[in-house]
Structure 1
Amino acid sequence: MPEKQIFVKEVALKNNCPVCYTTEGLYLTFSQKIVETKLYKSITSEIIHELACKKCNSPIYPVQWTDEIDLVVEYQKKAFTPKKPSTYIKKLAWFVIILVAIAVAAIVFLGLYNQL
């Protein structure tokens, strides 16, 4: 089952980067997990957030966060509104559902017809 991440939101932070110590370049990125199969595509409620510095091109792991960065990230997580979890049925699934419904209807009709 292939899983992908879709970009939802990016927030620029005014904090110092713990790696290169610049005040510009820290970005908090929110993405949401999508599960896609041949029959359906589903947006899950699982949210992933990543903090990175675009000046020094390095990811900032939670171990490196200062107290100020931690407070800002917690605030942004509370202010973030994700996409609604949903499931979309693809054409192949609709075809299979209709085919099964027709087969069940035919079996019921033939069973009733043979009783008469």
Structure 2
Amino acid sequence: MEDQFFTLREVELNNNCPECYSREGLQLTFKQRFIENSLYKAITKETAHSLFCKVCETPIFPVRWTDDIDSVFEYQQRASAPKPTSLKLKPLAWVLLIILVMLLLLGLLFFLGIFNQVQL
């Protein structure tokens, strides 16, 4: 299963790009991971970030960040709080859950001898 992320926040920075030294075009993106399959969709606590220069079309990795970019990043990270974790069941999961509960009830009734007492 590949990682799936949704965008929490995109911020345009006015700092100089460490690659092309342009003052425009730096974009900081915060993303949060979610898991989706046929039974449920869940938002996790895991977050990711990326810094990209639109002028030179280069991803800027944290090793190349200047102190100014680092301080702006820390501020923006505090400002963009992740969404709370959640779990949403899909219709297939609800159907399977109802079938499981019904089977457990039937098993319990059979074990207690309710079906033996019924005269047809």
TM-score exceeds 0.5: yes
In 2, Cα distance between equivalents of 1:36 and 1:63: 32
In the alignment, residue 7 of structure 2 is paired with which amino acid?
F
| Larger mean Cα displacement after TM superposition, 47-56 or 78-87 | 78-87
Conserved 8 A contact 1:51-1:60: yes
Decide which structure has the larger Cα Rg and report it: 2
In 2, Cα distance between equivalents of 1:63 and 1:114: 71
**1:13 matched to 2:8:** no
The Cα of 1:83 is off from its aligned counterpart by 1.7
TM score, norm. by length of structure 1: 0.93
Moved over 6 A (4+): none
In 1, Cα distance between equivalents of 2:44 and 2:18: 32
Q: What is the aligned residue count?
A: 116
Match of residue 95 from structure 1: 95
Counterpart mapping for 1:26-65 below 5 A: 26-65=26-65
Segments of 5+ residues of structure 2 without an aligned counterpart are none
Conserved 8 A contact 2:38-2:92: yes
The Cα of 1:110 is off from its aligned counterpart by 2.2
Secondary structure, aligned partner of 2:69: helix
In the alignment, residue 26 of structure 1 is paired with which amino acid?
L
Secondary structure, aligned partner of 2:30: strand
Match of residue 113 from structure 1: 114
In 2, Cα distance between equivalents of 1:74 and 1:44: 21
In 1, Cα distance between equivalents of 2:18 and 2:2: 34
Segments of 5+ residues of structure 1 without an aligned counterpart are none
